[in-house]
Amino acid sequence: MFHKEGNKIILIALALCISLSLAAHLYIENTVWKYSLIAILVVLLILILQFFRNPNRHFTLNDKTVLSPVDGKVVVIEEVFEKEYYNEKRLQISVFMSPINVHVTRYPVGGKVVYSKYHPGKYLVAWHPKSSEENERTTVVVHSEEFGDVLHRQIAGAMARRIVNYAESGQQVEQASDSGFIKFGSRVDVFLPLDVKVDVELNEIVKGGITVLASK
């Protein structure tokens, strides 16, 4: 199963792969060069298909938990001063995605979207300390009955050049449902109240909509 954000790219990649493979078969006489080129094209197509995959998952929804919004590795767990929305200290948990991860972004909690904003910006590597404030990004805040306002921020990286955000202010959303998509690697930050119980550790591998980041 593939995510809808990949439909156009997958069709283009498939058409190019077939066209170039046929051209190689017709016009390249050297057998080694011919099949090497075809093999490279097939590998590239497989990588694109893998990137846009959207596997079926069985989510366990719980109002007393905050789920990871994306697949990847936990790279930050720290108390920070968040100045875009809260203007106060919050607990930040950040998940870094490599190009081979599933790149669907999911709502960590369910509730009402109270803030959704896109910020143009730079393309620093996603683990750069200033990427959260200076890179292209979207900020979404969902009001949860248990946790209050929970902010998650999609951040573009050196490779990710397009962030897709589905959240609209006033929308009622369900935990683990699609919040957006980041194309070609990056990271997502989640900002929580300071009194939550953290259920993950640094460098832990997490799954979007499955792994519990924090709980009451």
Catalytic residue set: 186
- State the Cα–Cα distance between residues 21 and 17, nearest whole angstrom: 6
Tokens, residue 102: 């599933």
- 3-state SS class at 130: coil
**CA angle, corner 84, sides to 142 and 75, nearest 5?**
75
How many C-beta atoms surround the C-beta of residue 30 within 10 A? 9
Q: How far apart are CA 24 and CA 180, in angstroms?
A: 38
Please state the length of the chain: 216
SS3 of 100, please? coil
SS3 11: helix
* Cβ neighbours of residue 141 closer than 8 Å, sequence gap 6 or more: 85, 113, 114, 115, 116, 149, 150, 151
